[in-house]
Amino acid sequence: MKKSKPLKSEPTFEELSCYIDGELPEEQLRAIDDWLVDHPKALERLLKLRQIEGELRNAVKKKKSTPPGG
């Protein structure tokens, strides 16, 4: 596996959002992965955001599959 360039600063909100959504180029994804290893509190918050995102997606799916008035 190719080594990523280290991040020069903390990832921005937009970068982390794209990271969660899987919308980053491979090199940038690996750089954020490496950064998260060194920042466990940020990793913990990111994992919580992923959990919340999954719960929201499930709630929307459930709402869409429920017939009106049901």
What is the per-residue pLDDT for 2? 57
Average of per-residue pLDDT across 48-68: 88
Tell me whether residue 18 is in a domain: yes
Tell me whether residue 29 is in a domain: yes
Tell me whether residue 25 is in a domain: yes
Band of residue 32 on the pLDDT scale cut at 50, 70, 90:
very high
Tell me whether residue 5 is in a domain: no
3-state DSSP of the chain: CCCCCCCCCCCCHHHHHHHHHCCCCHHHHHHHHHHHHCCHHHHHHHHHHHHHHHHHHHHHHHHHHCCCCC
Q: Which residues span the domain enclosing 22?
A: 13-65
Domain tally for the chain?
1
Tell me whether residue 30 is in a domain: yes
Average of per-residue pLDDT across 45-49: 90
What is the per-residue pLDDT for 43? 93
Tell me whether residue 47 is in a domain: yes
